[in-house]
Amino acid sequence: MERSTIVRVHEGLHARPATRFVKLAKGFESDVELVKDGKAVSAKSSVKLMLLAVKENQEVTVRANGADAIEALEALIGYLENPRAGLDDEAEAQSPANDAGQEAAPAPGSVPAAPGGANRLRGVAASEGFAIGPAFAHFPSDIAGQGRMLRAEEIEGEIDRFRTAVGAVQARMDHALAQDSLSAGDRGIVAALRDIAADDSLTGEAEGLIKGGNDAVSAVITAASTIAAEFSAVDDHYLNARADDVHAVGRQICLVLLGQDDVSLENIPEGAILIADDIGAWDLARAPLKRIGGVVCGHGGATSHIAIIARSHGIPAVLGLGDQVNALRTARDVALDGNAGHVIIDPDEATRADFAGRVEAAAKERAGLTVFKTVTPKLADGRIIEVAANIGSLEEIEAAQEAGAMGIGLFRTELLFMRHMHLPSEDMQAETYAALAKAFAPYPVIVRTLDIGGDKPIAGIEFPDEENPFLGWRGIRMCLDRPDIFKRQLRALLRAAVHGNIKVMLPMVSDISEVRQTRVLVDECTAELKAEGVPHASFDLGVMIETPAAVLIAPALAKEVAFFSIGTNDLTQYIMAADRLNPTVAKLNDVTNPAVMSAIEMTAKAGVAAGIMVGMCGEAAGRPDLIATFVKMGLTELSMSPASIQRAKKAIMAMAAEG
């Protein structure tokens, strides 16, 4: 059996998405392959999967052959089309989604020196921030093979020795994954490294060389170099960075074979700048990261795992220095600018003072944002602007709370539907919505009803083939045609509403009749629950403004609903008639385009005139450069990614201070 789809995994099947995809594939007995451009690879090999270089928005085919082929296809296609609904969402916040705008790593040694003399170097700005501190040189010796050919009778024993070493490395990584000290992001990286250590591509290549007479250490070095070269040859800077991961895993296997321990980072002094030619993600993830002031490295780039770990822990980093890093071997002190990619060896007093000031200013900014966690932003006239979070699962509650979210402005219920092989029951939905309400009480929780379509299908609903599913049977249109599904969700929401802070929002509304038909169903569900003696309560009903039709009839819609929430992502693509997933028309997907801003203003005016709340739950809600404009239009609620909440609160308070 086979089925084709368009990949929606952000940046494609890089290390951690590939690891998750493989984990999912290994859960089925069937043989599973992924096919791209006529090339098929096993879906149970993360290395082969990554080397297929599957990128976002590309078409692939999943093939499955076996007793559970149907289930395998559904699960794997579901992950490719909506990765956040697949397995756990570990480290998603640290995925290449956060690498936007970062430059790719240049070839080693190709980075020009920074202006200012021989003691100033320039590399890749991999993690923002400033640091100055004592240099901690970390240059472990290279590992070389024994360079001898095995006798025939030695080969079997050498293969056993190699397999034992691989098992030991995997066991170490399993042990690390079990530790609470690893962050979710670091855990995802270690899991990806463990998959490389267990992958047939690496172990098979090495065993083949051993069978040919090579000693195990030489075989591992050669095998790792061969696979790393394949990654380096791929036209994708993120996959290029995986070459470093293969070398790091190969090094760990070799150390076990040689009975050696790698040079430890345990003794790095507080605030020291870690200097290395190369640092394996495995080593860095286990290092005392809170003590590291900064990282300078000859290898690596903005999308390497070293960079991702540094960013996730707020450690400034400059990578990709190439041979220039050798100039730092004997440095006493180092200053680094992770914003510009500059490194200064043994800085003079003026430079020390300058960097100390920068470090202090950056610390104050971070501390300043943290202060906004508990702030309730008010304007000069006393109006409160609610800054809420967009989330799609209960696992994201903690991050939203830690950021200081004033409730939930968008809970995407489709993820609840897509992560299960069957439609979720009314009880399961009611429990989920109730847990959400309890977690944020007394703040409001806005739950979006099922927003599903042909572009993101779910098990249990048969979708027609559509040439343009974005303009097809989706959102409220599908729900009203399938009251058996919709009423189950509405009943669950009415049950959860006993907690008092549930609001319900309808997606893809383009006609007033859609709101009125929904009210009829809500009334039916209310009557049923009352007759059954099931506790329930009413909820405010609102609509997402994301179609041009909704904008044009906003004054009439405002008389029918309790609130508006502007979905800028879809509104922009519909206003500009430009698919937001199509990179060739990406420049048209600009919320600041006068046409889009005019649509937002028209919506706000209609809502304000009717006296209802007007909010925004698209990505634009978290942009500090636009927040003042939206608030002046009349918006009183902004919902965004948890990472943007404190900065948004600061922007609102700055407006209040200006009067």
At 449, phi and psi to the nearest 5? -65, 165
Is there a catalytic annotation at residue 305? yes
Q: Report which residue type is found at 426.
A: E
What DSSP line would sit under 57-109, residue for residue? T-EEEEEEESTTHHHHHHHHHHHHH-GGGSS--TTGGGSGGGGTTPPPPPPTT
Q: Report which residue type is found at 129.
A: G
Distance CA 468, CA 455 (A): 9
* Alpha carbon distances (Å) from 652 to 608, 622, 640, 643: 19, 11, 14, 16
Distance CA 555, CA 560 (A): 9
Contact call for residues 276 and 321 (beta carbons, < 8 A)? no
> Is residue 457 reached through a cis peptide bond, with omega within 30 degrees of 0 on the bond before it?
no
Report helix, strand or coil for 530: helix
* Alpha carbon distances (Å) from 441 to 382, 444, 497, 592, 644: 22, 7, 11, 34, 21
Neighbour tally for 425: CB within 10 Å = 12
In the chain, the largest separation of any two C-alpha atoms, in whole Å, equals: 88
Which secondary structure element, helix H or strand E, spans residue 78, and what is its range?
helix 69-81
* Closest C-alpha to 237, from 127, 105, 101: 105
* Closest C-alpha to 265, from 199, 315, 338: 315
Distance CA 463, CA 149 (A): 61
Residues 247, 305, 499, 536: which is the catalytic one? 305
Contact call for residues 240 and 232 (beta carbons, < 8 A)? yes
Report helix, strand or coil for 8: coil
**3-class SS letters over 314-342:** CCCEEECCHHHHHHHCCCCEEEEECCCCE
What DSSP line would sit under 470-524, residue for residue? GGSS-HHHHHHH-HHHHHHHHHHHHHHGGGS-EEEEESS--SHHHHHHHHHHHHH
Look up residue 507 and give its two tokens: 């997606």
Contact call for residues 474 and 514 (beta carbons, < 8 A)? no
How many angstroms separate the first and last alpha carbons of the chain? 64
Look up residue 448 and give its two tokens: 């979006």
Distance CA 437, CA 531 (A): 25
> Is residue 442 reached through a cis peptide bond, with omega within 30 degrees of 0 on the bond before it?
yes
Neighbour tally for 457: CB within 10 Å = 19
Q: Report which residue type is found at 465.
A: D
Which secondary structure element, helix H or strand E, spans residue 201, and what is its range?
helix 200-211
Residues 254, 297, 479, 617: which is the catalytic one? 617
Q: Report which residue type is found at 352.
A: R
Contact call for residues 24 and 87 (beta carbons, < 8 A)? yes
Look up residue 332 and give its two tokens: 């006493």
Active-site residue list: 305, 617
